[in-house]
Structure 1
Amino acid sequence: MFILKIGGSILTNKDSKESEVDTESLKRIALEIKSSLDNSPKELIIVHGAGSFGHPPAKKYKIGEKFDESEYPQKRIGFCETQNAVKKLNMYICEAFIDVGLPVVAIPASSFMTATNKRITSGNLDAFKRYLDKGFIPVIYGDVVLDDELEICVISGDQLIQYLAMNLNPDKVILGTDVDGVYNKNPKTHDDAIFFEKFTSLKDLDTFEGTTNVDVTGGMVGKIKELLYLADLGIESKIINAEVENNIYKVLENEEVKGTVISRGN
């Protein structure tokens, strides 16, 4: 079983004021996944980010921050706008995958998960297991959910990966981002950025300045923290550049791809 996360920055223009799908990247990724599954059958779960669709309304309405009861009506609207936005992106993604012959089925986190203080605390995964058994590819994405302490909150795709991996024990977790892996600073703006072939400890964050914009889901630091938790359970992850042609195909085929491995030990 593989869990593949495709970052919102790959699928959309995340910094755009408009919700835009990168149709070219989406089609290429769909074809790479299809080629891998045709070459070697495997169970696959796809997680995708919210990108330019979900982040603007979540930020506008400050979803996940404490609020007074008088603000609840507006917060509910913000919840609905955010949920609807990420659902639209998921529809575009699923359509592209179906077009190339991938049997994907959307399973929104907001439909069955709840959280406590921004951490997933419940979510029955029987549906995932049944769809996998029938040969489907479940697709889940960053979403808004009910929160026992904060009423509502954002659940990132990275946290979904952790929850799914903890409960389904995949053979490999792969994160496709817009950089080659983890650097101590943004490699797009710093020529002296140092690349990490392997990340094993939070201590490595001492000189870490991040590689992407910090957003409502935590950016690269958030990804690393979620994946190090999985590493403690013996589940290895790899962060790769999904913008590089054939990288997703290669990593699904266990071929060599530049990236950062997240694991414990030497």
Structure 2
Amino acid sequence: MIILKLGGSALTIKDADKPTIDDVNLDRIATEVASYNQDMIIVHGAGSFGHIHARKYAIGDRILGDDDKSNKTMGLCLTQASVQLLNYKVISKLHEKNIPAVGIKPSTFIVNKDKRIDECDTNLIRKYLDDGFVPVLYGDAVLDKNDEIRYSILSGDQIITYLAKKLNTDRVILSSDVDGIYTDNPKTNPDAKLIDIVTKDTPLTTTSNDNQADVTGGMAGKIRELLELAEYGIESQIINAEKEGNIKLAVSGRQVKGTIIK
């Protein structure tokens, strides 16, 4: 079984001032995903569908009184509704490619504590997998047991780490808008070099999207989650979803340019 992460930056126009889907990328990516016919879980990022509301209402920050509590409550509702809409668009496109995708809303069965998963019942996901479905989860806004914040953002990368360990995943593939992990930001530094393999001993002074505002932690957050997976013997790979054919190659187990975390 594989877990495939579809980055929100590849599915949406992430720096848009309103939730905006990247229809061309989504259609191509769905076509490439259809080349894989084994057990698979898909987790997609929220992109502009989640980050706009999460930043505006400061979901995950300490609540400062009743008015702030009311604002954050509405922010949670708006964030959940927005990312669920993105999920609907993603699974609808997968259905067009004859993929038996079923959307699963993380905030209905996952509760955080201090912004980390504390409760998560994976039995439902197991049952869908056993019946031949492709569960599709996504980054969401969830309840948090820390009474000072009450709500927090659950990143798709954290979902991947949790499910990979619980469901004995064979491979994890993360698709982003860059080829992998670089020595510097490749979008601003043409001399940045791709790092082929990253381990816990690899010195990383910067990451490939540190200068981008991202409520889920950006590339640095991905690296932390994937290094945790590596401690359980699960290798992962970061590839560029915006390059045609990369996802098809990766899910098929063939060589593709990217960074392996082990």
TM-score, normalised by the number of residues in structure 2:
0.96
Determine which structure has the larger helix proportion and give its number. 1
CA apart distance, 1:36: 2.7
Give secondary structure in 1 for the equivalent of 2:186.
coil
> CA contact under 8 A between 1:2 and 1:172: conserved in structure 2?
yes
- What is residue 41 of structure 2 aligned with on the other side? 45
What is the CA distance between 1:214 and its match in structure 2? Answer: 3.6
Match for 2:91 among 84, 89, 94?
A: 94
**1:24-71 residue CA offsets vs partner (Å, 9 max, x unmatched):** 11111111111232xxxx100000000011001000000001113412
1 CA distance for matches of 2:135 and 2:81? 19
2: CA distance, partners of 1:32 / 1:92: 17
Separation (CA, whole Å) in 1 of partners of 2:152 and 2:77: 12
Identify the residue that residue 112 of structure 1 maps to in structure 2. Answer: 109
Q: Secondary structure at the match of 2:35?
A: helix
**Equivalent-residue separation in structure 2 for 1:167 and 1:182 (angstroms):** 26
Give distance in 1, aligned partners of 2:254 and 2:85.
Answer: 33
Question: CA–CA distance in 1 between the matches of 2:92 and 2:158?
Answer: 25
For 2:30 and 2:41, how far apart are their aligned partners in 1?
13
Write out aligned runs for 1:159-170 (5 A).
159-170=158-169
Matched AA of 2:194: F
2:125 partner SS: helix
Alignment partners' CA distance in 1, 2:217 and 2:201: 15
State the TM-score, normalizing by the size of structure 1. 0.95
| Number of residue pairs aligned between Structure 1 and Structure 2 | 258
Paired AA for residue 210 in structure 1: S
Listed one character per residue, the Cα deviations across residues 216-238 of structure 1 (whole Å, up to 9, x for unaligned) are 00000000000000000100000
Cα displacement string for residues 221-257 of structure 1 (whole angstroms, at most 9, x for unaligned residues): 0000000000001000000011111111111111110
Look up the SS of the partner of 1:180 in the other structure: coil
Report the Cα offset of residue 169 of structure 1.
1.4
> Hey, what does 1:154 align to over in structure 2?
153
RMSD: 1.1
Of residues 27-36 and 214-223 in structure 1, the stretch that sits farther from structure 2 once superposed is 27-36
**Which digits, 9 at most, give the CA deviation of each residue in 1:115-173, with x for residues without a partner?**
10000011100010000000000000000111000210000001111111110111100
Q: Which moved more, 1:212-221 or 1:118-127?
A: 212-221
Change (3 A) 1:210 1:243: closer
Partner of 1:78: 75
**1:253 corresponds to which residue?**
252
SS of the residue 1:130 aligns to: helix
Identity percentage over the alignment? 47
- 1:54 aligned residue (46, 50, 53): 50
Q: Quick one: structure 1 residues 130 and 243, their matched pair in 2 at CA, closer, same or farther if it must change by over 3 Å?
A: same
Equivalent residue number for residue 129 of structure 1: 126
Counterpart for residue 208 of structure 1: 206
